[in-house]
Amino acid sequence: MRIVEIVNRCAGTLVGSVLSPMSVVVAIAIILGVVQVSGQGGKQGKIPARVKAPEWYDKIPVNDSTLIARGRGDSKDQQVAIDKAVATARSGLAATVDRRWKELMEAIRKEGGIAAVQSEETVTLEGSKVVMQKTSKRGRIWTVFVLVAVPKSSARSVLSRRLHRDEEWYAKVKETKAVQEYENSSP
């Protein structure tokens, strides 16, 4: 369960409205294993100091031929932290492609009054790879920062498959300015 979902569930319950926001955060941290609770006296262990993100994480490099997304993962297990960071970054890449699809569909709708093809599908980008990684350990918690890149041509092929999937619909929209600009643009 994601942290946002946990916070929303806690906030929606009577317990969530009784507890202070800080106690909700501590409760979530305990559930996720970020804070250790000792067996004697119920005292809380310290939350490790936050690891400073590397400069390349805060200022993602721009590249004309690749899409780049960042991800961060924290865990007691180093490999789990790496996997979380990579999954977060890949999710960001997929969200970027999905956002571009929605922009294209909105442009088609505005221009031609043609409804978008309804598609709820998972975006699969081939060829993504970790291009930068920093792994740190504070206390018992591993923190990993990554940049994951995928060729823009891979993202473009996902969009093109979506665009051409329904040939009847594509025949209606292929003459719109939005589709013409998309198809004539470089990857």
Q: Tens digits of per-residue pLDDT, 19-69?
A: 344 444 444 444 444 433 333 333 344 444 578 899 999 998 888 888 999
DSSP run (H or E) holding 174: none
Contact 138, 68 (CB under 8 A): no
Per DSSP, the three-state class of 70 is: strand
Q: Sketch the domain layout of the chain as residue ranges.
A: 1-47, 55-184
Specify the CATH superfamily of domain 55-184: Acetamidase/Formamidase-like domains (3.10.28.20)
Arithmetic mean of pLDDT, 78-84? 96
DSSP state, residue 123: -
Q: What pTM value is reported for the model?
A: 0.65
Per DSSP, the three-state class of 105 is: helix
pLDDT computed for residue 22 by the predictor: 43
To the nearest 10 degrees (0 to 180), the angle between helices 177-184 and 78-112 is 140
pLDDT computed for residue 187 by the predictor: 56
Arithmetic mean of pLDDT, 56-85? 92
Instruction: State the chain's mean pLDDT as an integer.
Output: 75
